[in-house]
Structure 1
Amino acid sequence: LKKQKQDKNFIDELMSSVNKQILPASIEARIALYKKVVLWEKKGIKFEILREKFLNYRLLSALIKLDKKPVKSHILFYSHFKNAYTRFSLNEESLKQNLKEGFYRSTKDEMVFVEFWRFNTFFKNKWKNFEDFLKRPLSVQAEIKWRNKLFGTYNLSPIIILENILPSRYEVIAKSEIYHDNQEVLVEI
């Protein structure tokens, strides 16, 4: 496997999300696909397995700090970080001017911060609180759908969900990769 992936710095099939999301082209995604194959075979549904090319993504590492203290956060799929380290300050006045409806768009690295309450309203208050959301996040497909609806199909700006956006000194330490990949898909005939 290492020889097959020698042009990459990581082996994506062996990576799993810390929040239990099923990542595209991961081992978990393949297991889910073949469970569906077994189910369709039992039901007598005719199908074929096709390979398709797509743009894959992995968040390799991330840490968000407010006033040098790590804070809990969720970074949406396809959030690509141009720089491994970004910092900026957000004071009361800037926050009042730029925090609109729970969204703050940073001029640094095109990052978008979203307050949890605002994110939760898009999903009809699906989660009791921020902790519940972190334990039971959206599927990758649902995140992509929401991202496309609000920011456009080709948007790769980092979208970071925080419990609250506060006046503070922000530090974002993150590394992500976007790359061409292949995956198998099940198609009913």
Structure 2
Amino acid sequence: MLVHICCSVDSHFFLEKLQRDFPEEKLTGFFYDPNIHPYSEYRLRYLDVKRSCKKLGIPLLEGEYDYENWMEAVRGLEREPEKGKRCEVCFDKRFEVSAQKALELGEKKMTTTLLVSPLKSQEQLKRVGDEFYRKNGVEFIAVDYRSGGGTQDQAKVTKEEQLYRQDYCGCIYGLTMQRESQDKLMDEMFSPISNTVLPASIEERLSLYETRMRLEDEGRKYRIQKHKFLNYRQFTCKLTVDKSIPVAAYALSYSILQRKKAEGRIETEIEGIHYFNREEIRFISLQKFNLLADRDYLSVKELIYSPLAYEDEVALRIKITKSIYDLTPIIVVDEIPQGKLSLVLDAKIYEDTKDKIIEI
């Protein structure tokens, strides 16, 4: 039986149940999910499914990540709600490719781990699956592992196996509407031009779960624990002199400007720190930055494209402000500018959680 797999949280519990209920069937996993966005999230989910299937002794195949074709298939359905027409088209595409893969492998039966997801309609999935049975001759096995306490058992398995528990279905449209309804920043879509790995980002989680795989291969014991912290994302940092002359500027992490814009002049300098006469803003030259950070950047532009590691930048901020709680805007410039300055700084601080590996 070919089993279309969407994620480890759904698949691990689902596959265990299939192994018990269909002992005569040789199960083959098929990870085909071109709807998942961004690509780093796709790689993270695939990595965890790969680990899960390895533990269960089930071979896993990876389908093509044909995201552009998926986008074209759901065009015009972007604002459809979860379990609406967009999901049905998404199922159609994934079922069609999965059915073709089943035929290619000589399988006569297929099913999908989407059946166990509380975010999906089992009736909708069965309807789509039965239609493909009529068209392709691959029988769709519609099992119900959600009822009778199945969802609670699934949550228990997820915790015991320390599976990656994502908090959105997968596609950009579902994510957008979910974050809008939560009035929450969609930080999954942040991708700095510098490729900096941001705290609690998908890239950071991907690195963590790769480390987890290495620890398991080495037979080392660990736990994945969550902890709360204040996260930070920066949207814009622009500096101009006399309202028209742009100046290359870099704002250190956790720089916050309440009204997002401030105008004024630099009026004081103490030990290489230049103080603005508004909003407690501080400026440092690139030379001062290099001295404090023990670096040799040639320009602020170079710093923008290749900044310090996030932890090093936070440590530098503490060195400058002498406080771990300081949110003062600290702006790095090539040379300290004169004249009337206009700073636009749009950034956000928010409560968040992140995973951490603790060896035991």
TM over 0.5: yes
1:127 aligns with 2:292: no
CA–CA distance in 2 between the matches of 1:174 and 1:7? 24
Q: Per-residue CA shift, 1:19-64, capped at 9, x if unaligned?
A: 2211111111111111221222223221111111111111122211
CA–CA distance in 2 between the matches of 1:176 and 1:132? 21
Q: Which has the higher contact order (CA 8 A, sep 6+)?
A: 1
* 1:159 corresponding residue in structure 2: 330
Q: Give yes or no for contact 1:16–1:26 (8 Å, CA) kept in 2.
A: no
Counterparts of residues 24-173 of structure 1 (less than 5 Å): 24-67=199-242, 68-90=244-266, 94=267, 98-124=268-294, 126-130=295-299, 131-151=301-321, 152-173=323-344
The answer to which of 128-137 and 41-50 deviates more is 128-137
Q: Secondary structure at the match of 2:182?
A: coil
The answer to which of 36-45 and 19-28 deviates more is 36-45
Q: Secondary structure at the match of 2:354?
A: strand
Q: Secondary structure at the match of 1:142?
A: helix
CA–CA distance in 2 between the matches of 1:38 and 1:71? 45
Q: Secondary structure at the match of 1:2?
A: helix
Q: Percent identity?
A: 29
Cα distance change of structure 1 residues 128 and 53 upon mapping to structure 2, 3 Å threshold: closer
Deviation at 1:3, TM superposition (A): 4.7
Which structure features the higher share of helix residues? Answer: 2
Tell me, which stretches of 5 or more residues in structure 1 are unaligned?
Answer: none
Q: Per-residue CA shift, 1:112-155, capped at 9, x if unaligned?
A: 1111101101133x224124333321111111112123310100
CA–CA distance in 1 between the matches of 2:287 and 2:269? 13
CA–CA distance in 1 between the matches of 2:248 and 2:316? 21
Greater gyration radius: 2
Q: Secondary structure at the match of 1:143?
A: helix
Q: Give yes or no for contact 2:194–2:306 (8 Å, CA) kept in 1.
A: yes
Cα distance change of structure 1 residues 61 and 133 upon mapping to structure 2, 3 Å threshold: closer
Which structure features the higher share of strand residues? Answer: 1
Q: Secondary structure at the match of 2:331?
A: strand
One-letter amino acid of the counterpart of residue 72, structure 1: A
CA–CA distance in 2 between the matches of 1:81 and 1:183? 25
Hey, which bits of structure 1, 4+ residues long, moved more than 4 A?
A: none
Q: Give yes or no for contact 1:66–1:168 (8 Å, CA) kept in 2.
A: yes
One-letter amino acid of the counterpart of residue 188, structure 1: E
Deviation at 1:2, TM superposition (A): 3.4
Q: Give yes or no for contact 2:229–2:352 (8 Å, CA) kept in 1.
A: yes
CA–CA distance in 1 between the matches of 2:265 and 2:320? 25
TM-score, structure 2 length as denominator? 0.48
TM-score, structure 1 length as denominator? 0.87
1:174 aligns with 2:350: no
RMSD: 1.8
CA–CA distance in 1 between the matches of 2:351 and 2:188? 14
* 2:36 corresponding residue in structure 1: none
